[in-house]
Structure 1
Amino acid sequence: MIRAAAERLRAAGIDNPRHDAQLLMIEAFGDTRAALITAALAVVPAEVRARFEASVVRREAREPLQHILGWTGFYGLELKTDARALIPRPDSECAVEVALALVPEKGRLEIADLGTGSGCLLAALLANLPDAEGTGVEADPAAASLARENLALCGLEARASVFEGRWSDWTGWKTADLIISNPPYIPTRVIESLEPEVKDFDPAAALDGGADGFAAYREIIRLGGTYLKRRVPLVLEIGHDQRAAVLALLGAAGFTEMGHRLDLGGNDRCVWGLAPGRAN
């Protein structure tokens, strides 16, 4: 059944079809990979066959694997995933690593994740900073509800909150010790050319960075340069071809000690700078 499903997924244009078919079968089987291997020659129970077939049909239609499974792993955490927010991706983990390296101390901190979506960046930071408190800022009520669910799932609800609104309306800029964000950064004209899993299933507002892809960066950097305390790190995930432009925006706003980090695929994925400090 796995081999047959992999052929169907390959025909549908999916990259790693056997990997996806195996995970869908494990989910339908309801046990571990080892248990599935042990049962490989057994007759497939009717209820497993039905669940597996339904999930393969969904994946053939290019629905993301993580939506079908209902979860994904991110920085050692297991998070709920569905159509309310972008799927946490391994490449984003480099932004977490950078932020953890830049925090001024490991004690009591106030951190914020702008455009928190699933809450993955905030959850990963709080899980590794046990004395920190954090806020996820999210304008989309559906995504905000998913972030709250994930923070609770990770046992972080006592140290985390979600502000439902625009980051320009959030009042925590002046007290934050660290800001991280994976904002919308895809130029509007490019969205229709993306893989079906992205353009057809991810929330459009989480993708669309405006005509040139930099609208969110301009606003976040302007707000950070105006209100953040001196030397507070601002960590931004970026598209693979946006490093120079976003670093230029940070420099123009007075940020110092800027840098960048590559992702697992060797592409530019993250930039940062330290805030110049507000005037009053």
Structure 2
Amino acid sequence: MHEARTYKVQLGIASTRLKSAGIDRPGREARHLMQHVCAFSAADLINRESDLMPKAETEAFFDLVERRSLGEPYEYLTGEAWFYGLRLSCSPATLIPRPDSEVAVDEALARLPLGRLSKIADLGTGTGCLLIALLKHEPRLTGVGIDLSAAAIEVAQQNVDAHGLSERAEMRAIGWRDWDGWGETDLIISNPPYIRSDVIETLDDSVRAYEPHTALDGGISGLDAYREIIALAATGMKPGAWIVFEIGFDQGAEVRSLLESAGFSSISVACDTGQRDRVVSARLP
């Protein structure tokens, strides 16, 4: 049981607990968890810091603090993440959207024809973050997000609805091998599983223990998904269509080679903010 204390005191206790667990920026995370539990804005928390925190809120808050101290990702605790300036729902059925993936959106936008109706597809959509960011940025786009996980598609559909895109986006629980829209799409974007199987167990605990392995594991070489998607795209995409992949930092040359061998042209590799290879783009002649 937690004693009755003010919001300010409980916040200090939580910050100390998170700091002792090695959490970066423990004070910030404690504040945000408290705001989440109490439905407070930052101003609310300041104005209420001298008030006693009710028992139910205290118990719920320290439950999240303890789970966070054990490594559970903040985004899964709160059920939301930010991507490309958009608030999105996320769950353990989906990968957590990360800033590095925003490079894929930038690269896709640079290749879409301006002012023209276009159709895009997001393969392995997860939260739908890539597709939603593109549709929010370009109102003349329509698109489809596909994912084998029905639970992930449920989250993606929530995000589509929340951002008012249900008229322009379709979410389907299906694999890319069974998808029949290759020849109708102007651009395909994908952040597929790309981590080598033998590396999974070496990942940070917050990733390895909580994020879905089916969205991480790219097989022995880490390239299984790229090989499959590129083979399907080479025979099914319409001429002139683009494909934009997020990749692992050390996979630029290998994915470029796969695309070249399949007959793609205009191949380029873009870096993330850390100057690591992050996105490969190519066009089907």
- TM-score using structure 1 length: 0.93
Q: Are 1:138 and 1:163, in contact at CA under 8 Å, matched by a contact in 2? A: yes
Q: In the alignment, residue 276 of structure 2 is paired with which amino acid?
A: N
Task: Note the C-alpha offset of 1:40.
Answer: 2.9
Asked if residue 77 in structure 1 is aligned to residue 92 in structure 2, the reply is no
3-state DSSP of counterpart to 2:231? helix
Structure 1: where are the runs of 5+ without partners? none
Q: Are 1:137 and 1:164, in contact at CA under 8 Å, matched by a contact in 2? A: yes
The aligned counterpart of 2:224 is 215
3-state DSSP of counterpart to 1:41? coil
Give me the whole-angstrom Cα distance separating, in 2, the residues matched to 1:267 and 1:18.
Answer: 30
The structure 2 residue matched to 1:92, chosen from 94, 101, 107, is: 101
Give me the whole-angstrom Cα distance separating, in 1, the residues matched to 2:269 and 2:108.
Answer: 12
Q: How many residue pairs get matched?
A: 276
The aligned counterpart of 2:250 is 241
- Over the aligned positions, Cα root-mean-square deviation in angstroms equals 1.5
The aligned counterpart of 2:28 is 19
Q: Are 1:163 and 1:170, in contact at CA under 8 Å, matched by a contact in 2? A: no
The aligned counterpart of 1:113 is 122
The aligned counterpart of 1:228 is 237
3-state DSSP of counterpart to 2:182? coil
Give me the whole-angstrom Cα distance separating, in 1, the residues matched to 2:24 and 2:230.
Answer: 36
Matches within 5 A, 1:79-228: 79-228=88-237
Task: Note the C-alpha offset of 1:23.
Answer: 1.0
Q: Deviations over 1:163-205 (max 9, x none)?
A: 2221011111011001000000001111111112211111110
**Structure 1 residues 266 and 44 mapped into 2: Cα distance closer, same or farther (>3 Å)?**
farther
Task: Note the C-alpha offset of 1:6.
Answer: 2.5
Task: Note the C-alpha offset of 1:124.
Answer: 0.8
Q: Deviations over 1:72-93 (max 9, x none)?
A: 1111221111111111111111
Greater shift, 174-183 or 242-251, is seen at 242-251
The aligned counterpart of 2:277 is 268
Task: Note the C-alpha offset of 1:150.
Answer: 1.3
Give me the whole-angstrom Cα distance separating, in 1, the residues matched to 2:241 and 2:230.
Answer: 12
3-state DSSP of counterpart to 1:174? helix
3-state DSSP of counterpart to 1:118? coil
Give me the whole-angstrom Cα distance separating, in 2, the residues matched to 1:247 and 1:6.
Answer: 46
Asked if residue 43 in structure 1 is aligned to residue 52 in structure 2, the reply is yes
Give me the whole-angstrom Cα distance separating, in 2, the residues matched to 1:178 and 1:252.
Answer: 20
Give me the whole-angstrom Cα distance separating, in 1, the residues matched to 2:133 and 2:54.
Answer: 38
Task: Note the C-alpha offset of 1:41.
Answer: 3.4
Q: Are 1:117 and 1:143, in contact at CA under 8 Å, matched by a contact in 2? A: yes
- TM-score using structure 2 length: 0.92
Asked if residue 6 in structure 1 is aligned to residue 15 in structure 2, the reply is yes
Greater shift, 113-122 or 41-50, is seen at 41-50
Q: Deviations over 1:224-259 (max 9, x none)?
A: 122212221100001111111111111111211111
Q: In the alignment, residue 99 of structure 2 is paired with which amino acid?
A: P
Q: Deviations over 1:116-149 (max 9, x none)?
A: 1111111111111212110111111111221112
Give me the whole-angstrom Cα distance separating, in 2, the residues matched to 1:35 and 1:89.
Answer: 28
The structure 1 residue matched to 2:71, chosen from 62, 74, 83, is: 62
Q: Are 1:116 and 1:137, in contact at CA under 8 Å, matched by a contact in 2? A: yes
Q: In the alignment, residue 106 of structure 1 is paired with which amino acid?
A: G
Of all paired residues, the percent bearing the same amino acid is 44
